Amino acid sequence: MYTRHKPRRWFQLHLSTCLVLMVVAGMVTWLNVLPYPDGHYLTNYFPPIGETTASEYWCQGWPAPYGTFARGSAALGKWYFPELLLDAVTGLSLLITAGFLVEKAPRWRARRRLTARP
């Protein structure tokens, strides 16, 4: 006997989608809090203590640096709120895109398999 499936709610995610979103959110957070010397964007260049760099200012933020601080200081020196907003919008758009692709890809493959049969 054929039974109809209940329609899914519009904001229901699979467990695999949640795991992918967790990894993407972790990567975006890591990129945003990783300090890098000014002029050495995302090169993992951390000079030894006592060695000077080309700039004594370090930045944080991806894709745009939202804050700078002096080397050896824990407090942020200057905040750039438009860049912080750009970073937040970029991170949310990456999460939404990844969630959409992971949720829709199995349906697209199933639909393609159904139409490919002779």
Predicted TM-score (pTM) of the model is 0.67
Gap between the Cα atoms of 77 and 23, Å rounded: 30
Most confident of 10-19, 37-46, 64-73, 79-88: 79-88
Nearest Cα to Cα of residue 65 among 30, 44, 46, 38: 38
What average pLDDT score do residues 100-107 get? 84
Helix H segments across 1-118?
A: 15-33, 81-116
- Contact between 66 and 58 (Cβ < 8 Å): no
Gap between the Cα atoms of 23 and 65, Å rounded: 22
What per-residue confidence (pLDDT) applies to 74? 60
